[in-house]
Structure 1
Amino acid sequence: MLTYQDLSSLTLRTTGIKVENIRFHTVSSLAGAKQPRGLFVPVSADCGTLQEAISNGAVAAVWPEGEQVPAYAPNHFPIFYTQDNLKGLEKIMNSYNDYLSQHEDIDERTKFIFLNKALLNEGDETYDIAVMAENINGYGSNRNKAGEE
């Protein structure tokens, strides 16, 4: 499973509680999705709020560097900062995929939840983490500099 330690090695700055052995059962870009022991990664304005993600089970979030975290976020809530959430998500997925390819016998795996079809193959839904990471990279390169489609 994806851990706090894995994420902290990929990001420059974190706030909140620093517990190396926190394990993330889910990673989701959708605040409204059930995400037990989840990591919330908002990649667009229509992802939902951090408060909604927390109420659905998120125990940490990836957040854009320089953007203020909502005041309602608990002080102990782990936040991993990145320059670009979409690129940060791609980095997380690639790192986790590399880990899985080296440890194929692992029974417990982190579940990635993305329902935005623009992030999936053209018309074919996939849950293969390498394919999703590749599609996310393509999705990010299609946005203009202001981050709008």
Structure 2
Amino acid sequence: MFLALKDLVNLFNDKQGIQDDVLFRTISDKAAEEQPMGLFVPVNSEAGELLEAISHGAIAAVWDKEKTLPRYTPTQFPIFFTNDLVEAMREIINLYIEKLDGETNKNMDRTNFKISNNTLLNKNNQTYDIAGQLAKLLTQNNQERRG
């Protein structure tokens, strides 16, 4: 199950660009990371430039309201604005886990979270290892079926 652009439309009030329904195959906090059909969330200054993220496959971005969007940003490119990028990433992860709602079929296509920034881990007490969360859901799901 993939995270959809329409999921983010409901999560963020402030947005611009085309809001067509597309599915995100990746979510990354690094512009240099390959992110086909990706959502770019630059959580700090080391994340890289939006143009680089677009060249690596980003099709949308979450952006700090206080920062000016680069002039080269395509008019139709979906941008979701927030006051706190780390909190936005946390909300996206939680939304995705909620969307899965226990569905963890091993053959199911899933959004690939490519999160490498330690800020995400240090700011919050909960884990940001989405693979770990999916494994936990799978284990819980299997135990419920056996009982």
| TM category, shorter | 0.7 to 0.9
Q: 1:64 touches 1:81 (CA, 8 Å); kept in 2?
A: yes
SS in 2 for 1:128: helix
TM-aligned CA deviation for residue 128 of structure 1: 2.6
Query: Which residue of structure 1 aligns with residue 140 of structure 2?
Result: none
| Closer/same/farther in 2, CA of residues 22 and 72 from structure 1, 3 Å limit | same
Query: Which residue of structure 2 aligns with residue 79 of structure 1?
Result: 79
Task: Please report the TM-score for the alignment, with normalisation by the length of structure 1.
Answer: 0.77
Identity %: 39
TM-aligned CA deviation for residue 104 of structure 1: 3.0
Q: Which has the larger radius of gyration?
A: 2
Distance in 2, matches of 1:88 and 1:79, equals 13
Query: Which residue of structure 2 aligns with residue 128 of structure 1?
Result: 131
| Count of residues paired in the alignment | 127
CA shift digits 1:101-134 (9 cap, x unpaired): 343347111000022356459xxx9443649xxx
TM-aligned CA deviation for residue 56 of structure 1: 0.4
Query: Which residue of structure 1 aligns with residue 112 of structure 2?
Result: 111
Distance in 2, matches of 1:129 and 1:80, equals 27
Query: Which residue of structure 2 aligns with residue 43 of structure 1?
Result: 43
TM-aligned CA deviation for residue 64 of structure 1: 1.1
Query: Which residue of structure 1 aligns with residue 22 of structure 2?
Result: 22
TM-aligned CA deviation for residue 97 of structure 1: 0.8
CA shift digits 1:38-73 (9 cap, x unpaired): 000000100000010000000000001232110011
Task: Please report the TM-score for the alignment, with normalisation by the length of structure 2.
Answer: 0.78
Q: 2:38 touches 2:57 (CA, 8 Å); kept in 1?
A: yes
Give ranges in structure 2 of 5+ residues lacking alignment.
Answer: 123-127, 135-147
Q: 1:2 touches 1:25 (CA, 8 Å); kept in 2?
A: yes
| Closer/same/farther in 2, CA of residues 118 and 61 from structure 1, 3 Å limit | closer
| Closer/same/farther in 2, CA of residues 3 and 126 from structure 1, 3 Å limit | closer
Cα RMSD after superposing both structures: 2.2
TM-aligned CA deviation for residue 82 of structure 1: 1.1
